[in-house]
Amino acid sequence: MSIVLAIANQKGGVGKTTTAVNLAACLAVAEQRVLLVDMDSQGNASSSVGHPKAKVERGTYDVLLGDEHMADVTLATDLPNLMLVPATADLAAAEIELGGEEDRATRFRDALARVKGEYDYVILDCPPSLGLLTLNALVAADGVIVPMQCEYLALEGLSSLGDTIERIKNGLNEHLRVAGVVLTMYDPRVSLAREVADEVRKHYRVYDTVIPRNVRLAEAPSHGKPVILYDAGSRGSHGYLSLARELLGEAA
């Protein structure tokens, strides 16, 4: 059975796209069939697996507008088990163009339903906001993974996301849940990081895996590769492999 996970946090700079790309890649390395969907108009997930939006003609925008079937805009990556639905420059206009449509919140769920059975995991990289694109992702998802940097302002954002998830559960997707919080850019030497991590654990399930600060994670996107292909021996690569193992252990 396919598992659809939205990687979401309305706060920017927390490692959201890094988590979406590298978790998807590590699941693919573990011989899972994975579809990565770029729902952020910045297109960073797409470029991080070799498909910069300037070179992509069709993608998530065309699926949301109903002009293309998802299977027809899906692209291969350097990993045989990892496929991509890319973002194009047009995606920035999707929220405006869909704003008046009655099915504006369920467009993506309905499109994904036609192909998700072909994959073990579908990973949705959401924009850093709680707008219509993120709403479409959450309506389609089984669970939400929340990347979070250990700082106090991040706790406020986590609360807002939790409220949004509860509203969606009460209307458009009763099965939606927070699958877990993954701590990113973590430095255990900083006491604030430990304090925030402890506070989050009081309210949410936090993955055992902690993603460290790692220069290889920052470098990999500029080479159009997930870190597992850029530097498989790096601490960042080991972190996301560990996170993938946690997810696979839950699904077993």
Q: What is the DSSP string of 94-116?
A: HHHHHTT-TTTTTHHHHHHTTTG
**Which residue did the predictor score with more confidence, 230 or 149?**
230
pLDDT in the model for residue 52:
94
Instruction: Give residue 102's Cα distance to chain centre.
Output: 26
Reply yes or no on whether the pLDDT at 228 is more than 70: yes
Q: What percent of the chain has pLDDT over 90?
A: 71
Q: Which residues have CB under 8 Å from 226's CB, separation 6+?
A: 21, 22, 24, 25, 26, 48, 49, 79, 220
Whole-structure pTM value = 0.95
pLDDT for 57: 92
Per the prediction, the chain carries an average pLDDT of: 92
Options 1.10.287.4070, 3.20.20.80, 3.40.50.300, 3.20.20.70; CATH of 3-251: 3.40.50.300
Mean of pLDDT values over 7-32: 94
What is the structure's pLDDT at 190? 64
Q: Which residue has the higher pLDDT, 204 or 156?
A: 204
Q: For CA atoms 166, 167, 170, 173, give the dihedral sign.
A: negative
Q: What is the mean pLDDT of residues 19-38?
A: 98
* Cα 6 to chain centroid, rounded: 5
252: confidence class by pLDDT, cuts 50, 70, 90: low
Cα-to-chain-centroid distance, residue 65: 21
The burial of 2, by beta-carbon neighbours within 10 Å (0-12 exposed, 13-18 middle, 19 or more buried), is given as middle
Where residue 24 falls among pLDDT bands split at 50, 70, 90?
very high
List the structure tokens of 241: 């492999």
Looking at residue 188, what is its pLDDT? 67
Residue ranges of domains in the chain:
3-251
**Residue-wise DSSP of the chain:** --EEEEE--SSSSSSHHHHHHHHHHHHHHTT--EEEEE--TT-HHHHHTT--GGG--SSHHHHHTTSS-HHHH-EE-SSTTEEEE---GGGGGHHHHHTT-TTTTTHHHHHHTTTGGG-SEEEEE--SSSSHHHHHHHHH-SEEEEEEESSHHHHHHHHHHHHHHHHHHTTT-TT-EEEEEEEEEE-TT-HHHHHHHHHHHTTS-EEEEEEEP-HHHHHGGGGTS-HHHH-TTSHHHHHHHHHHHHHHHHH-
